[in-house]
């Protein structure tokens, strides 16, 4: 019995100490809060005095404030224009073959030097002329595609299997009713005629640059803003020169722009 009484006494004393400790902590927190309130009140009064003093020294002038805002806006516009000029001045150093121009050239303006043996082949030059006339494009644009694909070598063959002046892939050749071996034995004129068949198969109308037929023939008649390869795709990674302004998606417009400069 005595043992139980002692334990109860100890427990009551411990609880009393806990209550005292809690009360003391509460008082400390209240005291800290009161000090912070006093400090905040002092700061608010000081700020009010500062506002009153500023109002007395320089009364508010709406017109002056508006003029100040206009000055700030003009300064921002000048900075933006300066940055744009800097971007234009440095973009040329990146290499014209690596990014489309900002204004997106759409008309082919390049000139291509044709090897003498092909230039003196009347059947070949006539076939190129007829092809260009049929689709309303420049002859140099046809030559630029040939130059870029095969460097004017009718027997050119890529490790991937692409063959001939226009580098027809084996599957493409089959779709046109021939094989890459057949293409290897064709004359340059016959290869131009086969290319005409290829353009007809994809309903090419000349509205887009001829290079679109090398890059993405399924988009031969699509609108300029049509996205061909989205940012981050394998084709986007592999063809930086095709992108919109270097880091945008690859579109019909950006490919048109890229091939508009080929051979220039």
Q: Is the pLDDT of residue 169 over 70?
A: yes
Count structural domains, the chain.
1
pLDDT band at 78 (very low <50, low <70, confident <90, very high): low
In-domain check, residue 194 = yes
- Range 123-127 contact pairs with CB under 8 angstroms and sequence separation of 24 or more: 123/187, 123/189, 124/187, 124/188, 124/189, 124/192, 126/189, 127/189, 127/192, 127/193
Gap between the Cα atoms of 99 and 107, Å rounded = 16
In-domain check, residue 16 = no
pTM, two decimal places? 0.56
Q: Is the pLDDT of residue 136 over 60?
A: yes
Gap between the Cα atoms of 194 and 167, Å rounded = 11
Please check whether residue 241 is in contact with residue 258, taking contact to mean a CB–CB distance below 8 angstroms: yes
pLDDT band at 244 (very low <50, low <70, confident <90, very high): confident
Of 97-101, 130-134, 167-171, 192-196, the range with the lowest mean pLDDT is 97-101
Tokens of 81: 């224009």
Q: Is the pLDDT of residue 219 over 70?
A: yes
For residue 95, the model assigns a pLDDT of 38
Q: What is the DSSP string of 213-224?
A: HHH-GGGTT--T
In-domain check, residue 49 = no
Q: What CATH number is attached to the domain comprising 133?
A: 1.10.530
Gap between the Cα atoms of 238 and 228, Å rounded = 14
In-domain check, residue 1 = no
Please check whether residue 110 is in contact with residue 140, taking contact to mean a CB–CB distance below 8 angstroms: yes
pLDDT band at 165 (very low <50, low <70, confident <90, very high): very high
For residue 181, the model assigns a pLDDT of 96
Mean pLDDT of 194-212: 92
In-domain check, residue 47 = no
| Per-residue pLDDT reduced to its tens digit, 13-42 | 665 555 555 666 666 666 666 766 766 666
Gap between the Cα atoms of 253 and 54, Å rounded = 58
In-domain check, residue 35 = no
| Per-residue pLDDT reduced to its tens digit, 119-132 | 999 999 999 999 99
In-domain check, residue 203 = yes
Mean pLDDT of 76-104: 49
What is the β-pairing status of strands 250-251 and 227-229? antiparallel
pLDDT band at 260 (very low <50, low <70, confident <90, very high): confident
- Domain range for residue 208? 106-260
In-domain check, residue 228 = yes
């Amino acid at each position: 019995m005595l043992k139980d009484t002692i334990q109860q006494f100890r427990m009551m004393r411990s609880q009393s100490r806990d209550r005292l400790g809690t009360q003391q902590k509460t008082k400390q927190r209240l005291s800290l809060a009161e000090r912070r309130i006093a400090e905040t009140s002092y700061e608010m009064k000081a700020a009010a005095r500062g506002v009153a003093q500023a109002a007395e020294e320089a009364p508010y002038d709406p017109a002056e404030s508006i003029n100040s805002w206009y000055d700030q806006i003009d300064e921002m516009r000048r900075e933006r224009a300066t940055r744009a000029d800097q971007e234009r001045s440095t973009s040329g150093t990146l290499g014209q073959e690596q990014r489309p121009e900002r204004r997106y050239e759409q008309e082919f303006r390049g000139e291509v030097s044709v090897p003498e043996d092909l230039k003196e082949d009347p059947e070949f030059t006539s076939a190129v002329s007829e092809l260009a006339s049929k689709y309303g494009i420049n002859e140099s644009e046809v030559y630029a595609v040939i130059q870029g694909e095969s460097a004017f070598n009718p027997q050119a063959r890529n490790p991937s299997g692409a063959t001939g002046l226009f580098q027809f892939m084996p599957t493409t050749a089959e779709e046109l009713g021939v094989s890459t071996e057949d293409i290897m034995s064709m004359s340059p004129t016959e290869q131009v005629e086969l290319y005409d068949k290829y353009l007809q198969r994809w309903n090419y109308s000349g509205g887009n640059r001829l290079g679109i037929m090398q890059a993405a023939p399924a988009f031969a008649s699509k609108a300029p803003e049509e996205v061909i390869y989205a940012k981050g795709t394998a084709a986007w990674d592999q063809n930086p020169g095709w992108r919109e302004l270097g880091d945008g998606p690859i579109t019909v417009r950006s490919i048109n722009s890229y091939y508009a400069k080929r051979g220039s």
